[in-house]
Structure 1
Amino acid sequence: MVVAEIAEALDVRTWQLQEAKDQLSEVIETAQVRGPQMITRHGRPRAVLLSAEEYLAMTSDRPDFKEWLLGGPKANLALPESAFKATGEAKVEK
């Protein structure tokens, strides 16, 4: 998919890097009013500028990585006693 098709599908305006540098205030204002703005370099997407409000909405209310890992399903790794009988292994004493 080429940049124009991506931008059209997402209803995002594209800015060439130099144009975005020269008109940064306008790029920011447009991001606040219309949504994310795509910045290209040599015709390829390089960055997307979001309003602070959109960024905060995307990143808030997320657990940190440790909380996310610990919040997953718990596995019972203990084998039932029947598993030892089936394999002929001795019962492990606790």
Structure 2
Amino acid sequence: MNKIVSNDEWLTALAAKVDEEGPQAVPVEGRGRYMLLSEAEFRRLSERKPTFKEWLLTGPRLDDVEIERDRRPARDFSF
């Protein structure tokens, strides 16, 4: 049989479930589902990620790498 619990007890139990199992979906009638997640998970998901350009610019310097092009044709061809 279901026991009637206060909102505080329900929220505390739900928070414990988030800590143990990860984000939880909470259905709200007429509005769909909302996700409850920990503050640490929220911060991780909402932190700004570097753009691809920024990521490339923070890579190792290649100033001392010399690349020579092979001037030979890749294959014989005729028109």
Query: Normalized against structure 2, the TM-score is what?
Result: 0.44
Q: Whose helix fraction is larger, Structure 1's or Structure 2's?
A: 1
Give the TM-score, by structure 1 length.
0.38
Higher relative contact order (CA 8 A, sep 6+): 1
